[in-house]
């Protein structure tokens, strides 16, 4: 009898906590999030011309010279694949890692041969997730001349655009200052014609 009583108690607790933690709690948290933080709860999606074009949280591959390029991605089978979030897992002494970095340096120099500034590390190394949507302000500033030339814009105009899109450190102590590449590229496309050279 005691065993049956214990089994009955265990089953009641199992059903109770399954409903509480598997149904009520998730619905409550989802409801609060959707009410108070709907944009964040839905993945911080970016809507452009009534079309979702990406998320603030996941990088995208930009290769056109007229856009800012993000941090390299090591995901497969294509860059910034959210279903395959990973780093390259290659150490700094690995020959494949060294070759990948050197290839990226070569590419940056080929598309902007007049640029003699030091290349920021986040333009030639992938992040641990492979999905990093942001780069350092230095990485954005490094790309000014290439973009200015490709778009026929004054370099100062692009510099001001970067400065107005810098995201400060969280609570002024966590992380580093950064810029979101997708948002920066959208802002580039919105520049008025008077910003361009005639």
Give tens-digit pLDDT for 46-70: 888 888 888 889 999 999 999 999 9
The yes-or-no verdict on residue 32 having pLDDT over 60 is yes
Query: Do 24 and 72 have their domain in common?
Result: no
Query: Do 15 and 90 have their domain in common?
Result: no
25-29, 42-46, 191-195: segment of lowest average pLDDT: 191-195
Query: Do 66 and 106 have their domain in common?
Result: yes
Partnered with residue 51 across adjacent β-strands are 48
Query: Do 31 and 55 have their domain in common?
Result: no
Query: Do 27 and 61 have their domain in common?
Result: no
Give tens-digit pLDDT for 120-161: 999 999 988 999 999 999 999 999 999 999 999 999 999 999
pLDDT-derived band at 193 (thresholds 50, 70, 90) equals low
> pLDDT at position 196, please?
46
Query: Do 12 and 55 have their domain in common?
Result: no
Query: Do 28 and 54 have their domain in common?
Result: no
Give Cα 182 distance to the centre of its chain.
8
The yes-or-no verdict on residue 25 having pLDDT over 70 is yes
Give tens-digit pLDDT for 75-113: 989 899 988 888 888 888 999 999 999 999 999 999 999
> pLDDT at position 197, please?
44
Query: Do 12 and 108 have their domain in common?
Result: no
Query: Do 59 and 138 have their domain in common?
Result: yes
In 3D space, the residue among 75, 92, 73 whose CA is nearest the CA of residue 83 turns out to be 75
Q: What would the DSSP string read from start to end of 112-175?
A: -TT--SPPPGGGTS--SSS---EE-HHHHHHTHHHHHHHHTB-HHHHHHHHHHTPBPPBTTTBS
The yes-or-no verdict on residue 33 having pLDDT over 80 is yes
Q: How many domains does the chain have?
A: 2
> pLDDT at position 47, please?
84
Q: Which residue has the higher pLDDT, 167 or 43?
A: 167
Query: Do 170 and 96 have their domain in common?
Result: yes
pTM, 2 dp: 0.80
Range of the domain at 22: 1-42
Query: Do 27 and 63 have their domain in common?
Result: no
């Amino acid at each position: 009898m005691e065993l049956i009583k214990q089994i009955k108690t265990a089953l009641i607790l199992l059903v109770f906590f399954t409903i509480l933690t598997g149904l009520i709690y998730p619905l409550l948290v989802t409801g609060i999030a959707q009410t108070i933080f709907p944009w964040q709860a839905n993945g911080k999606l970016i809507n452009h011309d009534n079309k979702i074009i990406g998320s603030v949280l996941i990088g995208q591959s930009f290769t056109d010279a007229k856009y800012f390029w993000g941090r390299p991605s090591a995901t497969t089978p294509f860059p910034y694949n959210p279903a395959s979030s990973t780093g390259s897992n290659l150490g700094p002494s690995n020959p494949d890692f060294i070759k990948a970095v050197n290839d990226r340096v070569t590419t940056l120099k080929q598309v902007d041969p007049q640029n003699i500034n030091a290349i920021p590390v986040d333009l030639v190394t992938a992040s641990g997730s492979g999905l990093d949507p942001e780069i350092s302000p230095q990485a954005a500033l490094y790309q000014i001349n290439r973009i200015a030339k490709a778009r026929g814009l004054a370099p100062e105009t692009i510099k001001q655009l970067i400065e107005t899109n810098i995201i400060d450190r969280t609570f002024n102590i966590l992380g580093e200052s950064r810029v979101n590449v997708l948002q920066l590229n959208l802002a580039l496309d919105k520049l008025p014609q008077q910003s361009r050279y005639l």
